[in-house]
Chains A and B, each alone.
Chain A
Amino acid sequence: MQDRYKHCYMDIEEVKQRAGPREFGPTDDMPEEYRKAATRMIQFHANSEIMGAYIERPFIRQAPSLDRKLAVSAQVQDEIGHGQLLYRAAENLGIKTREQMLDELANGEGKFLNCFHYPLDDWYELPMIMFFVDGAAMRRQATLKRTSWEPYAHAIDKICFEEGFHIKHGESILAELASGTRRDQERLQEAFDKWWPRILQFFGPTDDQSTHSDFSSAVGLKTMGNDALRTAFLNVYLPKAEKYGLEIPDTPAVTFNEDTQRYEVEEDDLDWDEFMQIARNQYPQGKGQIDKRHRTQEAVEWVRDAIENPGAGSAAAD
């Protein structure tokens, strides 16, 4: 859109004043601080979509029925698509190119959600991701329909449209296992015990510990804080776990505070050292996941080359 005029430069105070749902777009001359914060947030989200797909991918092969296999493969395909939409939204900010962000992910500099650093061991663990983690992500994404960076909100519109299928398919697997044999129920409980603390950490440290939260909220990128989101998640997903006969582990302790109408989690019961190690991309299993992404990116390098420089490789073959 080369012939569209640029709005005049906005300083950060003006941004804070105007901040509201879908308020800013590529034709606004945004201060660098805003563009950097938005890039950090959207790139993290995009990376998480891609790494989420890598967690689910092995279950295309391991699915117990053809219906499940088709649905899992459709989900993996959706997640990769979500990643692509988001890299586009981030690219519009002019801080990083899509290639740069993909390279950063492959070489271990790109950050992504804690839950996707833990590969899944078996089918019983799949609904932990598909129902609880995707459900948590949906809670968060729904609040981002009101983010101030318009291209981000547009990507979120399409993501939310598709995700209903993921969560319902995830719940359908959960319901099937929960009503299975005694052994199925035990294994489901084991998976839940293992994943529950990680799911509680999904929303990150509490607001007072969170580093970038204040600025992102002030400029309208984020529309709800970590604590409120975690409560909103627990409000509906905790009863779901109980509905399927899952026992909520005693630690980490989760209690509902009647006065504040909020769930409180005993933070000391959670392994924040591991969380921080993950946040630095140094958790061994998470490194394994990043390496997988790295190998795949390298393996298809020749395809990208062939597309971007058509004819370049054929001379040697002639």
Chain B
Amino acid sequence: MIFEVFRQEQRKDYHVHVGNVHAPDREMARMYAQVMHARRKPAHSLWVVPKEEIAEVDSDDEGVSMGGLTQKEYRWATNYNTDETFAEEIEASQREQEEAERGREEAEAND
């Protein structure tokens, strides 16, 4: 059985997908996950999930459109030319959106 592994580096971090392990059962999967994904890199907690329990939506599948396919600039703070620096939380939000935008552009370039 394949189990997907999500690692949380430090307490309060989000769990991030780091790979998978092949194991005969849950118990062994937890052990392998520790050895494979928490031996060198710091880990506070691991989630170990049977692969078939994960529902996937693939952007290549028919009838699936997950943003980015049509023009949706109007959904982004960067689309409006008012000043974002007047309040730190608005500035923070815009910076996060800019980062997401760069990520999207890179993804498109690699497509």
Contact = CB atoms under 8 A, between A and B. Distances in A.
Contact of A138 (B81, B82, B87, B96): B87
Given A21-B12, A74-B75, A141 B89 contact: yes
A273 to B, nearest CB: 32
A302 interface: no
Interface string B48-81: 0000000000000000000000001011110111
A172 B74 CA distance: 12
Interface in B7-32: 12, 14, 26
A56 interface: no
A22 B80 contact: no
A49 B93 CA distance: 18
A67 B79 CA distance: 11
A165 B86 contact: no
B1 interface: no
Contacts of A71: 74-75
Given A67-B74, A71-B74, A164 B86 contact: no
A165 B75 CA distance: 7
Nearest to B98: A164
Contacts of B79: 165, 168
B92 A160 contact: yes
Grouping DSSP codes into helix (H, G, I), strand (E, B) and loop, the B interface class, with mixed when no group exceeds half, is helix
B97 A165 contact: yes
A163 interface: yes
| 8 nearest CB pairs, A to B | A164-B93, A142-B89, A164-B77, A168-B80, A171-B82, A165-B77, A71-B74, A22-B12
Interface in B85-106: 86-90, 92-94, 96-97, 100
A175 B81 CA distance: 10
B12 A164 contact: no
Given A172-B82, A236-B86, A160 B93 contact: yes
Contacts of B12: 21-22, 150
A135 B93 CA distance: 12
Interface of A: 3, 21-22, 67, 70-71, 74, 135, 138-139, 141-142, 150, 154, 160-165, 167-169, 171-172, 175, 236, 239-240
Contacts of B76: 165
A291 B100 CA distance: 38
Contact of B80 (A21, A154, A172): A172
B82 A164 contact: no
A67 B71 CA distance: 11
A163 B14 CA distance: 21
Contact of A240 (B14, B86, B93): B86
Contacts of B14: 154
19 contacts: A71-B75, A74-B72, A138-B87, A138-B89, A139-B89, A141-B89, A160-B92, A161-B100, A163-B93, A164-B93, A165-B79, A165-B80, A165-B97, A167-B87, A168-B80, A169-B80, A171-B80, A172-B80, A240-B86
A138 B91 CA distance: 11
Interface in B25-43: 26
A138 B90 contact: yes
Contacts of A150: 12
Nearest to B76: A165
A165 B81 CA distance: 11
Nearest to A23: B12
B74 A168 contact: no
A168 B90 CA distance: 8
A235 to B, nearest CB: 9
A22 B44 CA distance: 15
A162 B14 CA distance: 18
Contact of B96 (A22, A141, A154, A161): A161
Nearest to B11: A22
Residue among B77, B89, B96 with the most chain A CB within 10 A? B89
Given A71-B74, A150-B12, A160 B89 contact: yes
